């Protein structure tokens, strides 16, 4: 179904997930669920000085949903909230086929482009990213309260 290279990257992240686990409080937690496949992704993150200082994920589901969460954690750690927003948009565009897939530009995330012709799989690949988007909304709301 997926291009061989893409499949290799997905399986590598699925078998050896980066940043799998939970954070100790204080943290922001956001749960995401994809009913069409039964995938669950929970993202824990901490924001310090406007940056995602730490981020972990846990949950269960198909290899694409969990590999995508692993890639996300690796890609957004240390990023500012604005950079994380941009990365979400970029990745959603990549998965939907709105931008060209290029390993030099996207790194491992390029593998998510392999699902673009499979609408059901698109939901698996984008679950973690939509979940992060919700988590960032929480982070922004908390930042407003503190000032
Ligand atoms: Zn799935």
Distance CA 56, CA 51 (A): 14
How far, in Å, from the CA of 27 to the mean position of ligand 1?
A: 26
Q: Dig out the tokens for 18 from the structure.
A: 């980066």
Q: Dig out the tokens for 140 from the structure.
A: 């922004």
How far, in Å, from the CA of 50 to the mean position of ligand 1?
A: 32
Phi, psi values for residue 4, rounded to 5°: -60, -45
**CB under 5 Å of ion ligand 1: residues:** 37, 39, 62, 65, 124
**What is the residue-level pLDDT of the chain in tens, covering all 147 positions?**
457 889 999 999 999 999 999 999 999 999 999 999 999 999 999 999 999 999 999 999 999 999 999 999 999 999 999 999 999 999 999 999 999 999 899 999 999 999 988 889 999 999 999 999 999 999 988 877 766
Please give the order of strands across the beta sheet that includes 39-48.
28-34, 39-48, 51-60
How far, in Å, from the CA of 65 to the mean position of ligand 1?
A: 5
Domain ranges of the chain: 2-142
Read off the pTM: 0.94
Return the closest-CA partner of residue 85 out of 20, 139, 144, 10.
139
Q: Which CATH class is domain 2-142?
A: alpha beta
How far, in Å, from the CA of 83 to the mean position of ligand 1?
A: 26
* pLDDT for position 1: 44
């Amino acid at each position: 179904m997926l291009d061989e290279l893409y499949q290799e990257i997905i399986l590598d992240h699925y078998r050896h997930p980066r940043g799998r686990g939970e954070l100790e409080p204080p943290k922001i937690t956001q749960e995401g669920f994809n009913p069409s496949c039964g995938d669950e992704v929970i993202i824990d993150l901490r924001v310090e000085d406007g940056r995602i200082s730490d981020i972990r994920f846990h949950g269960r589901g198909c290899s694409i949903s969990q590999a995508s969460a692993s890639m996300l954690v690796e890609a957004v750690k240390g990023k500012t909230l604005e950079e994380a927003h941009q990365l979400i948009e970029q990745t959603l565009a990549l998965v939907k086929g709105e931008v060209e897939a290029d390993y030099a530009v996207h790194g491992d995330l390029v593998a998510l482009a392999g699902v673009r012709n499979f609408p059901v799989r698109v939901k698996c690949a984008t679950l973690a990213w939509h979940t992060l988007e919700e988590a960032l909304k929480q982070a922004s709301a908390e930042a407003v309260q503190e000032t």
